[in-house]
Amino acid sequence: MRRRFVVRSSAVTGALALALAGAIAASPADASTPDSKQVPPKVPTSVGYGGAVSSLDPVVSEVGLNVLKKGGNATDAAVAMAAAIGVTDPYSAGIGGGGFFVHYDAATGEVETIDGRETAPAAMEHDAFIDPATGKPYPFTPDLVTGGVSVGVPGTPATWERALELWGTTSLSQALRPATTVAEEGFVVDQLFHDQTVINQERFEAITSTSELFLPGGEAPAVGSVFRNPELAATYRMLADGGMDAFYEGALAQEIADVVQAPPVATGTELPVPVGSMTTEDLASYEVVDRDPAVVSYRGYDVYGMAPPASGGATVGEALNILEQFDLESLDEPAVMHHYIEASALAYADRAAYLGDSDFVDVPLAGLLDDTYAKERACLINPSAAAPRPVAAGDARSYDGVCGEPAAPGTEPEDTESTSTTNLTAVDRWGNVVEYTLTIEQIGGSGIVVPGRGFLLNNELTDFSLVYDAADPNRIEAGKRPRSSMSPTIVLEDGRPVLALGSPGGSFIITTVLQMLIHRIDLGMTIEEAIAAPRATPQTSTSTLAEQAFVDRYGTALAGYGQAFRPYSAALGAATAIEIGPGGLLTAVAEPTRLGGGSARVVWPTGE
């Protein structure tokens, strides 16, 4: 079997040597299949011991919980949950996409990460997103995101294989069985699944294989009906039998390459459905990367996140370093939110200037996460007034911490708004922790279902800058990984994990994670309060997107600082988190209302 990983780290360990033999014998994932037509409860908060999981879907959390109950560890649970997400939330994630896996190893005390980001095909051109008919970029949605040109080489299957190899106690075959059963027997369609199908109807109708699966009879599946995906079940069985070579080589790889190069376009569609250049060689050569995490210290905590090509660890980390220059505990909530907005804008400006795939561009990560650099950036924050937008990037390669003259305004364009992607959190009885964010990018990805295989391909390459600029760290290049906002985060205190959290939401992910950390650490909210609190997503524009509840709560006070807001009707992020308290008490939380609410479960709830 070909090894599908490369190490970019000096701190990667082998598979967990201390896994219990009994856990292996119990085949934990095999024993974890729920009754998929009896909808498990949506529980936004669970408190207890013995392990915990949190996700945005009750079936997914039930799968993870049962893995833990049968002796599996956090990695076993996370992979089984991720496979189930590909069934019940196929518009957000699945084997046609990629993601970032962050793991705390209780045996070694180390935080390690797997970069399973998608890559651009070897033949991708710099002008791939330019419509030859107009000489301008295709309209982003629905034109550019629907078609083969946006599809990156998937990394999710290789991520599962690598995670289980490093830290799991079960086989890939066993980990896939619960999701296979859910795909075969079906799950109950909820309002979110129905609505997301309707939103994608024009795109799905443009691709015959997609409309056949997700628009049976030409309509979105009805709420309360049972949706089955036997084609995906068969695909999972094939991977269980043949390992990931069955995905990246052979018949399935050829089918993926074929559908990217020639999508099955429906007669009469008005969408251009631009084709891609992916080949079987691109799939066969794909590798996940073991990377050192991005880490900063913040008020006595060590905050670990993903390094580039993810921008989450660097941007969250830089913003925290900037905020640490201020005594937020002495301020009222509106003043803290003012500082949060200003620090975020500064960090986002640096994100645009510096962050990309570090295997292709020189990313000054050490500078971006340096306290001296943060001190210099913090000089630009006026405690009583908002800075003119957009703010300019700093010089992360040359700094001395001394306040200088304010820089001229910057010109960073904002990322496309999105509520796509998904996130899961898992902690086991031994203290291992997983935070995993995975995606197919747009809700519905590229809109292309691989014919007969039951899964959507990603449109992740649209995370590259649409117009090529040789000075842009996120420019299109063959073989490169596009910049991501995914921000799976694990927080340690005195070397032990105390909190794990992450969120979907495109470029909103960074601010969701950052705001939750501020709410928990600086404002002293409980983790339940922190996940439910209203959100704003400051980046670099002249006004800040905010949920109406945030405007209602802080808008009047923040107007006095010169802050302006644009109410955002959809959810900003949809987080999951687990807090590890004294004595190992676990508080697992999921969104109580956003996207219909998630589900957080513990193995042994208190009081039972």
> How far apart, in whole angstroms, are the C-alpha atoms of residue 258 and residue 128?
18
Q: Residue 225 is encoded by which pair of tokens?
A: 């009906």
> How far apart, in whole angstroms, are the C-alpha atoms of residue 94 and residue 118?
12
Residue 502: enclosing H or E segment and its boundaries? strand 496-502
Q: Residue 297 is encoded by which pair of tokens?
A: 């210290």
CA distances from 434 to 73, 268, 290, 458, 532 (A): 10, 46, 15, 23, 22
DSSP assignment letter at 122? T
DSSP E strands, 197-348: 226-227, 288-291, 294-298, 301-305
Comparing CA positions, the residue from 320, 382, 334 lying closest to residue 550 is 334
Answer whether the bond into residue 272 is a cis peptide, omega within 30°.
no
DSSP assignment letter at 607? T
Residue 568: enclosing H or E segment and its boundaries? strand 565-568
The residue assigned the tokens 């909808």 is 39
Q: Work out whether strand 544-547 and strand 536-537 pair parallel, antiparallel, or are unpaired.
A: antiparallel
DSSP E strands, 292-441: 294-298, 301-305, 422-428, 433-439
**Biggest alpha carbon–alpha carbon distance for the chain:** 66
Active site residue 416: no
Comparing CA positions, the residue from 179, 187, 140 lying closest to residue 156 is 179
Q: Let me know: does 461 contact 82? Beta carbons within 8 Å.
A: no
3-state helix, strand, coil in the chain (%, to 5): 35, 20, 45
Tell me the one-letter amino acid at 565. F
Comparing CA positions, the residue from 86, 78, 87, 89 lying closest to residue 54 is 78
Tell me the one-letter amino acid at 206. A
Tell me the one-letter amino acid at 556. T
> How far apart, in whole angstroms, are the C-alpha atoms of residue 457 and residue 283?
13
The residue assigned the tokens 């802050």 is 563
Which is it for the CA torsion 355, 361, 365, 368, positive or negative? negative
The residues that bridge with 9 in the sheet, in sequence order, are: none
> How far apart, in whole angstroms, are the C-alpha atoms of residue 144 and residue 574?
25
DSSP assignment letter at 12? -
Cβ burial of 469 (10 Å; 0-12, 13-18, 19+) is exposed
Q: What angle do CA 79, 604, 59 make, to 5 degrees?
A: 40
| Marked catalytic residue, from 146, 421, 544, 587 | 421
| Phi, psi values for residue 514, rounded to 5° | -60, -45
> How far apart, in whole angstroms, are the C-alpha atoms of residue 387 and residue 384?
10
Query: Which residues, in sequence order, are CB contacts of 70 under 8 Å at separation 6+?
Result: 23, 26, 27, 28, 29, 31, 32
Residue 65: enclosing H or E segment and its boundaries? helix 58-69
Residues with a catalytic annotation lie at: 421
